[in-house]
Structure 1
Amino acid sequence: MIGALLVTAIPSFSQSLPQAPLPGQQIAAPSSSDPATYLCTTQLQRAQNAIHKQDFPAGIDAAKTGLAACPEQRDLLLALADGQMLSHQFDAASETLHTLLTKTPDDVSALLLLGQTQYLNAHDTDAALSFQRAIAAAPNNPEPHYWLGRLDYQDGNVPKAMAEFQKAIQLDATFYRAYDNLGLCYEALGENGHAMENYVHALKLVYKNHPDYDDVYLNMSGLMLKLGNSQKAFDLAAEASSRNPGNPRSFFLAGKALEQAGQSDASLKWLKHAVEMDPTYPDPHYLLARVYRRQGKSQESKEEAAKFKQLSDKAPKIMR
């Protein structure tokens, strides 16, 4: 048997979205003689902690409370926009960032966050302009090249995307997300050997130093499934579920690996977890329909097939 279901507490939040980097500068240490500074610093810390824990409403509220005492304070505006973007309040996040960029048009953190907001809102042309502005303001920063690569990859321009990811790596040889996405590009070109090399490089970079990063484990798991290596695919997906228990894709891929290996009963546990975590995720329903059909449960199979079709029709064509 390939493996047993990991016993992990699963938070209700199930979406995986790219986090905008919070600025490195810190507000001055709180001073009891300066109540406003103390309040702003405290609320910034609360906002950042809440957003890190994916409690976006609490993060937004904390940032707004801080801004009431310190209007237009840079770090609080960035935290507010981060929480708004991650809770899909794209227009509000853009408005917050434009407020900041009106005063400091070359603020790289704000430009990157604005570009990510536009990217997630499918405003690709605007996003590209924001990332290009970030490059002009900070030519040695790899982040905007990475995000331009993401845009190109999703537009199907794989060679251009590869050039952007390679530029990011040239600027920062430890940029693990660029290696991960370079692997996706090689995989799209059918060059699985080169894809594997880049996935493995990214895995080495994140294994200890970035314990929350799970994307490369999932991308490599998907490649292992294509190559028919169910054991390796399961191991990678299970590790991803441990690193980020809130991502239903890891549970889906683990269930898919078990189903591919002929372990239908075990796969049901993982697939059902994926559905519980994100009821709008179509793919687990497709596999559940197939598993139930193999088990002779025709009614359950039909129900899952119908759910898959219904959710697939509503799902965005491009996952960002």
Structure 2
Amino acid sequence: MGMGEHGRFGDGAWTRAWAGLAVVALLVGCVSTEDLAKREREADGYYKQGLSHLASNQQQAFVSFQKSIQVNPDNYDAHYALGSIHFQRKEFADAEREFRRCISLRPDDGESLNFYGRTLIELQRLPEAVDVLRKTTALPLYATPDKAYSSLGHALSLMGDNAGAIRAYQEALKIDPPTVPRALLHLELGRLYIVQGEPIKARESLAQAKSLDPQGTAGAEATKLMQRLK
């Protein structure tokens, strides 16, 4: 057998070897894709299970959401649900972790950013909260920016920036339809105007709060503050 024949035999062997490797790679890819789809379905099942328990058994819902992210760490909805539960329980460090993960998965999601900002407020990380909430108010596709403006106003007032807080609450009042009760926004404006030494504006805002929520908590608090102004 000559060298040419050896060469031809070698070329054929290499061709078959590469073809075999390609088939193996294709099969591995198919298995990986199928496995990923299976895990996503399983994680979604745990998430839906958690939702079904949320109103009646929060702890059971919490466990289901945890199982969901154990199966699929990229399940945004489960992370958001866990963050919300931690926030309600005042477990703010845990809530911060979950909302930070949400933002890593969906950087421009207004709801996650707003909740993240609120969590930072509770953790007394006010400058960070302000930065996050300013970004949130600027999102062009965020459907409920009055939430972020309200949170921003709260953060700025805690930092002593009353003028900035007033501007934030005023911006929140411009959003129509509102998701934050306008009575609450007027109440906060009334409080800030009192601190700023502007009693006329304070009375106007408090009167609005009382008018919008005559039988509610905001209206009652506005009435008390108005009586103190007399």
Mapped pair 1:291 → 2:226: yes
1:180 pairs with 109, 114, 118, which one?
A: 114
* Rounded Cα–Cα distance in structure 2 between residues aligned with 1:294 and 1:275: 15
Structure 1 SS opposite 2:203: helix
Residue 253 to residue 170, structure 1, CA distance change in 2 (3 Å): same
Give the length in aligned residue pairs: 186
Matches within 5 A, 1:179-198: 179-198=113-132
* Rounded Cα–Cα distance in structure 1 between residues aligned with 2:178 and 2:199: 22
Q: Which amino acid aligns with 2:115?
A: N
* Rounded Cα–Cα distance in structure 1 between residues aligned with 2:198 and 2:79: 42
Identity, % of aligned pairs? Answer: 20
Specify the alignment match of 1:215 in structure 2.
Answer: 147
Residue 137 to residue 250, structure 1, CA distance change in 2 (3 Å): farther
> How does the TM-score come out when normalised to structure 2?
0.66
Contact 2:166 2:192 in 1 (8 A): yes
Contact 1:255 1:271 in 2 (8 A): yes
- Cα deviation, 1:200-245, whole Å, max 9, x if unaligned, reads 222222xx21243321111110122222322221211121122144
Mapped pair 1:266 → 2:198: no
1:249 pairs with 179, 184, 188, which one?
A: 184
* Rounded Cα–Cα distance in structure 2 between residues aligned with 1:279 and 1:183: 31
* Rounded Cα–Cα distance in structure 2 between residues aligned with 1:226 and 1:292: 25
Contact 2:118 2:129 in 1 (8 A): yes
Mapped pair 1:231 → 2:163: yes
2:77 pairs with 133, 136, 143, which one?
A: 143
Residue 108 to residue 268, structure 1, CA distance change in 2 (3 Å): farther
- Cα deviation, 1:262-320, whole Å, max 9, x if unaligned, reads 2223223333333343345424533432332222xxxxxxxxxxxxxxxxxxxxxxxxx
* Rounded Cα–Cα distance in structure 2 between residues aligned with 1:136 and 1:189: 26
Mapped pair 1:277 → 2:212: yes
> How does the TM-score come out when normalised to structure 1?
0.50
Q: Which amino acid aligns with 2:229?
A: R
Specify the alignment match of 1:5 in structure 2.
Answer: none
Q: Which has the higher contact order (CA 8 A, sep 6+)?
A: 1
Gapped runs of 5+ residues in structure 1?
1-104, 296-320
* Rounded Cα–Cα distance in structure 2 between residues aligned with 1:184 and 1:192: 9
Residue 232 to residue 281, structure 1, CA distance change in 2 (3 Å): farther
- Cα deviation, 1:77-128, whole Å, max 9, x if unaligned, reads xxxxxxxxxxxxxxxxxxxxxxxxxxxx95688557546x62xx7x431432
* Rounded Cα–Cα distance in structure 2 between residues aligned with 1:140 and 1:242: 36
Q: Which amino acid aligns with 2:92?
A: V
Mapped pair 1:201 → 2:118: no
Larger helix fraction of residues: 2
Query: Which runs of structure 1 show a deviation greater than 6 angstroms over 4 or more consecutive aligned residues?
Result: none
Structure 2 SS opposite 1:214: helix
Shift of 1:137: 7.5
Residue 136 to residue 191, structure 1, CA distance change in 2 (3 Å): closer
Q: Which amino acid aligns with 2:160?
A: G
* Rounded Cα–Cα distance in structure 2 between residues aligned with 1:129 and 1:277: 41
* Rounded Cα–Cα distance in structure 1 between residues aligned with 2:48 and 2:212: 32
2:62 pairs with 109, 123, 128, which one?
A: 128
Residue 183 to residue 278, structure 1, CA distance change in 2 (3 Å): same
Specify the alignment match of 1:316 in structure 2.
Answer: none
Residue 291 to residue 147, structure 1, CA distance change in 2 (3 Å): same
Contact 2:194 2:202 in 1 (8 A): yes
Shift of 1:256: 2.2
